[in-house]
Chains A and B, each alone.
Chain A
Amino acid sequence: MYRYDEFDAAFVHERVEQFRGQVVRRLSGELTEEQFRPLRLMNGVYLQLHAYMLRVAIPYGTLNSGQMRGLAHVARTYDRGYGHFTTRQNVQFNWPALKDIPDLLDDLAKVEMHAIQTSGNCIRNVTADHFAGAAADEIVDPRPYAEILRQWSSLHPEFSFLPRKFKIAVTGAPRDRAATQVHDIGIHAVRGDDGRLGFSIYVGGGLGRTPMIAHRIRDFLPAEHLLSYVEAILRVYNLFGRRDNKYKARIKILVHETGADEIRRQVEAEWERIRDGVLSLPADEIRRIEAYFAPPPLEPQASDGLAGARAKDPVLDLWVDQNTVAHRVAGHAVATISLKPVGGTPGDATADQMDAVAALADRYSHGEIRVSHEQNLILPHVREDDLPELHAALADLGLATPNAGLITDSICCPGLDYCALANARSIPIAQEISERFAEPARQREIGDLKIKISGCINACGHHHVGNIGILGVEKKGEEFYQLLLGGSGDETASIGDIIGRGFAGDEIVGAVETVVDTYLEHRSGPDETFLAAYRRLGQEPFKEALYGGG
């Protein structure tokens, strides 16, 4: 597990005390809002539509059960009894009072959590594959490398005032579940011809106003050079990234304007200078960090009860089929706890649910939990024979929706229900979609289909990489929704096409249904996913169905 070391503990404590002083000075009038705003943002405190909002970092989406209980405690004590898991594997609390936030942060520090670097123009929380350390297809657990990057980037003096925020994602499996190609830097583990571990390095991806897929600037970087290479990229960006225009300040614009080949040349030149210096990672240092993430002691085993239980219980059978994937240790599974109940708010969990998930993690998953960027929770190490009991417990908690990866498993930003920047609501759209397609058989017939919804162009809901993306805009004072088709955040990443004119709030779900029906009508067979069919067919049949001919 992530080792919150003594340095972190002392530093976080110091920061909480510093922030406590700043809050006191703000409330007593010594600090104006203008002076205080950057200080609160550095500590993850935003002001949203209804209240302050606190964003808490969950490094690479890994939590232990004690930390989940800590989040439940915060939700119950300082908020309105719930929290929201975000598309950056973080958690947000929507209602904390400013005067309480120092105490809240103190309580979080007790479970080794904090809100530092969740805002501002710094290197943000490093994200990773949510099946890390468990998935059968994994080449390497990406979290030790994410942790090495976290330690290096935490308060890096050279990179605390970058031209703009900076996001890094790491994946250790061929299947990219961490959307690495839409990050400022995407790091994808690969094996060299000689079996050596290395990384493909992608640079300049991002969503928001100007969505871009990253360019691969290096096919194979030996693992020991990860830090020096990333530092070289950051140096090139820090030097040449635009500071004159906030909308052109991300590294994607630099890569786009300079050209990927020239960026590669600059990075390689800088890297040559520093590659064998203090940042090279000796094998024993990598092993030391890897030890923090030592897998639990799982014995390969044959499952003897699961098949029989599934045969007797179709609800369990459906859930196991849809919400679990193969573990790298035989007889075990990685289980997704859907935070997308039909009609619910995507990504929300109540304090009681958080406590209950913590208890289930202790009981069935060696105390480990992950948060996915798809806004679900994961129990990574469950014995197959425990799945029936786990499923029954989840069903009692309203957490057994069998929809992982299906059309009702939308990802969705808070939108105009909470967010001060929003143009339109996104949660009610996700809810209506999940109600429209609630029938499990229908969802299964449609198959893998990712819907992603954002309430404004900032794209926190990743709409550009939704197979079906929905973007809320405001038109003449009304909510209006653009529809994008064919986006993908996986290893075949692509930006969706805006398919035509947008739809009013009461039309958009019907439009989604038209798109889905068109797919079902035209697909070559049940094995052709929506994305594959769209790529084969192009926009035309969908346009035709949505807007008619002529």
Chain B
Amino acid sequence: MFKEAKDGPVKAITANRLGDGLVVFLTENGAWTRNLAEARLIADGEALEEALVYGRAQHDARVVIDPYAIDVTTDGEDPQPIRLRERIRADLGPTVAYGDAERAALAARAAPKGG
């Protein structure tokens, strides 16, 4: 299993939403967002501990499942998770096309050129 992030400059709290299982991030006002750019970024230390306690309470209150902290960089414009696993989660889906979008992309590629 992946360990919770312990160090690094900034953290965000993430979880999966109970009702549909989708990835969410904790916001400044204690709600949950699908968009990491809207997440609360927390420095290590007491604030992080408090946020995790809050997250745990949200788990108990059946809003989300298993919240944990992730390392985030803010070098670019928007915050980005450092680990690939978390980047894939924050992108809200696989790194490959799927379903009808994949099918359409493959069909476009297979279509004879100029036809």
Contacts and interface: CB of A to CB of B under 8 A. Distances in A.
Given A51-B21, A51-B22, A98-B20, A80 B99 contact: yes
A348 to B, nearest CB: 7
Given A82-B99, A477-B83, A479-B84, A29 B61 contact: yes
A428 B95 contact: yes
Nearest to A99: B19
A428 B96 contact: yes
Interface in B83-97: 83-85, 88-89, 92-96
Interface string B45-81: 0000000000000011110011000000000000000
B62 A26 contact: yes
A477 B82 contact: yes
Count chain B CB atoms within 10 A of each CB in A51, A348, A477 and give the residue with the most: A51
A427 to B, nearest CB: 5
A344 interface: yes
A439 to B, nearest CB: 14
A477 B100 contact: no
Given A398-B110, A416-B85, A98 B18 contact: yes
Interface residues of B, number: 34
B59 A49 contact: no
A345 interface: yes
A200 interface: no
A97 B18 CA distance: 9
B20 A27 contact: no
Contacts of A348: 98-99, 102
Given A49-B88, A82-B98, A477-B82, A341 B22 contact: no
A479 B89 CA distance: 16
Contacts of A28: 62
B96 A431 contact: yes
A90 to B, nearest CB: 18
Nearest to B16: A47
Interface string A19-45: 000000011110011000000000000
B9 to A, nearest CB: 16
Contacts of B31: none
Contacts of A243: none
Contacts of A33: 18, 59, 65-66
Contact of A50 (B65, B93, B99): B93
Contacts of A410: none
A401 to B, nearest CB: 10
B23 interface: yes
B103 interface: yes
A51 B60 CA distance: 19
Contact of A350 (B62, B99, B110): B99
A268 interface: no
B62 to A, nearest CB: 5
A350 B97 CA distance: 12
Given A50-B93, A398-B110, A417 B88 contact: yes
A417 B19 CA distance: 21
A452 interface: no
A405 interface: no
B20 A99 contact: yes
B43 interface: no
Interface string A337-357: 000011111001010110000
B19 A49 contact: no
A242 B111 CA distance: 56
A478 B84 CA distance: 8
A503 interface: no
Interface string A92-117: 00100111000000000000000000
Contacts of A422: 85
B75 to A, nearest CB: 16
Contacts of B106: 341-344, 398
B113 interface: no
A299 B105 CA distance: 42
A474 B33 CA distance: 29
A50 B89 contact: yes
Contact of A32 (B60, B84, B88, B89): B60
Contacts of B93: 50
B63 to A, nearest CB: 10
Interface of A: 26-29, 32-33, 47-52, 80-82, 94, 97-99, 341-345, 348, 350, 352-353, 398, 416-418, 422, 425, 427-428, 431, 477-479
16 contacts: A47-B65, A50-B93, A52-B20, A81-B99, A97-B21, A98-B18, A343-B105, A344-B106, A345-B98, A350-B99, A398-B103, A417-B95, A417-B96, A425-B95, A427-B96, A477-B84
The 6 closest A-B pairs by CB, nearest first: A417-B94, A97-B20, A52-B21, A82-B99, A51-B21, A81-B99
Given A80-B98, A98-B19, A350-B99, 9 more contacts: A26-B18, A33-B18, A49-B23, A50-B23, A97-B21, A99-B19, A343-B106, A348-B102, A417-B88
